[in-house]
Amino acid sequence: MQNKQTIRHLARLAGSLLVCAAFAGHSAWADTKLRVFSGGQNQRPDLMRKLFDKYQAQNPGVTIELETGGATSELQRQYLSTVLNAKDSAIDIYMIDIVNPAQYFNAGWLEPLDSYIPGGVSALKPYLPVYAQADVVNGKLAAMPAFSDAMFMYYRKDLLDKYGIKEPHTWDELAAASKKVLDAEKNPNLQGLSIQGAPIEGAVCTFLLPYWSQGKQFNDASGKLTLDKDAAVKGLNMWLNLVDTGVMKKNIAEVTTPVTVNEFKAGQVLFAINWGFAWDVFKDAPDSQVKGKVGVMPLPAMTGGKSATCVGGWQWALSAFSKNKSAAANLIKYMSTPEASKFLAVEGSLLPVYQSVYTEADVLKQAPWFKDAANVIINGQARPISSQYGQVSDVVRTNTSAALARTKTPADAVSDIEGRLGRVMR
């Protein structure tokens, strides 16, 4: 009898030890409060909150507070620059735009994640290829992917089918397809192609899309400018030729992201380049005239080149001034898992950071267009990697818009970009 009691006692003791062992790794995080800045409403803080709640349930003793703010990437960048420059330790984790890791890391604002994420930089291998560019700075892991975005070519599938036109693979083919449809439809309100020509962040991509598709790179791995002036001028001239042939409207230099979305939604555009959020607008908006009529395809290339797109999206970064770095890094690791990526895809149609998630059955059931999106985003590239990205963006977008407005020649605009950024990106 005594032996049986002893055995039961040892069993209970062993069970207790197992429970203790299960939480031993988290004992240092007991009563730990983490504060996370997760962007504005477009970054879906409601879904981030649900993931944080799951994490808290799995990690007793950790409490996560959520901070939001800034309707645009630019406004968020202004806020974060102020907070981080002040070395404020109140926020442990930041959600940052894909263009910001180099800027923030080189400023000393971000803690390298190499010692917290198993494998360090090699941990990015399962993710989309672009993150090896965007999230690695000076050989260090500066951030981890949260969710993705990209520039997509949306098109009126019904009109291409009507005239027996296949998806164009080059800009010349797109121009020919547009002219065929425009001539046949005889609708003065119908445009062939809409892009963002106003001096906004989207115009950086407007500059890069035809440039990249010629196989050219804007900078090397160290961030040094590698601009091919002839290719850049050729890309800007291609846009102007589309204006001159009536494929794009003459005031394209005034077109912003919402203008493209609203005009395509109204049935006034055959092809449109825009970000991933636009799909749900075209599909779900009560006033959408294109429901069930929209296709998604890879962006065309310059003749002889290869399709490329501009990747956006958001990253998780650890503040260099956090007082809870180990606990915060563990949360970042959790928020960057395939499970978190899948949750955001299914619940919010946020583009996955893992290529494998795009083809999972329950993801495609919720967002069927991801099957086509995967073919686009795999060819995604990051915008210029620079610790002075704000200045880089300003120079590229203002000169691109000036060239499209014809207040500068393409050659002069490219020379200005080279002259000003050659000193910044070196």
- Is 25 inside any structural domain? no
Does residue 221 share a domain with residue 337? no
pLDDT-derived band at 18, boundaries 50, 70, 90: very low
Does residue 258 share a domain with residue 187? yes
| Average of per-residue pLDDT values in the chain | 92
Could you give the percent of the chain with pLDDT greater than 90? 87
Please name the residues in contact with 142: beta carbons below 8 A apart, sequence gap of 6 or more.
101, 102, 104, 105, 110, 112, 113, 135, 136, 317
Does residue 123 share a domain with residue 220? no
- Is 327 inside any structural domain? yes
Tell me which DSSP letter residue 79 carries. Answer: H
Does residue 359 share a domain with residue 271? no
* CB neighbour class for 83 (10 Å; exposed up to 12, middle 13-18, buried from 19): middle
Single out the residue of 335, 334, 328, 314 nearest to residue 90, CA to CA: 328
Does residue 215 share a domain with residue 305? yes
Does residue 296 share a domain with residue 170? yes
Q: Quote the domain boundaries for residue 94.
A: 31-149+311-380
Torsion of CA 34, 389, 404, 304, to 10 degrees: -100
Predicted confidence at residue 221, as pLDDT, reads 82
Predicted confidence at residue 426, as pLDDT, reads 87
Kindly state the average pLDDT of the residues 190-206. Answer: 97
pTM of the model: 0.87
- Is 24 inside any structural domain? no
Predicted confidence at residue 387, as pLDDT, reads 87
- Is 95 inside any structural domain? yes
Report which residue type is found at 204: V
- Is 18 inside any structural domain? no
State whether residue 100 is helix, strand or coil: coil
Owner of token pair 């997509």: 152
- Is 11 inside any structural domain? no
Domain total in the chain: 2
pLDDT digits (tens, 9 = 90+) for 247-300: 999 999 999 999 999 999 999 999 999 999 999 999 999 999 999 999 999 999
pLDDT-derived band at 21, boundaries 50, 70, 90: very low
Predicted confidence at residue 3, as pLDDT, reads 46
Question: For the chain, what's the residue count?
Answer: 426
- Point out the domain boundary residue: 344, 363, 380: 380
Does residue 319 share a domain with residue 216? no
**CATH number, domain at 398?**
3.40.190.10
C-alpha–C-alpha distance, residues 327 and 92, integer Å: 9
pLDDT digits (tens, 9 = 90+) for 157-196: 999 999 999 999 999 999 999 999 999 999 999 999 999 9
Q: Are residues 245 and 179 in contact, defined by beta-carbon separation less than 8 angstroms?
A: yes
Does residue 165 share a domain with residue 87? no
E strand or H helix at 147: strand 144-150
Does residue 390 share a domain with residue 374? no
Predicted confidence at residue 1, as pLDDT, reads 43
Does residue 290 share a domain with residue 165? yes
Does residue 97 share a domain with residue 81? yes
- Is 141 inside any structural domain? yes
Does residue 331 share a domain with residue 229? no
- Is 370 inside any structural domain? yes
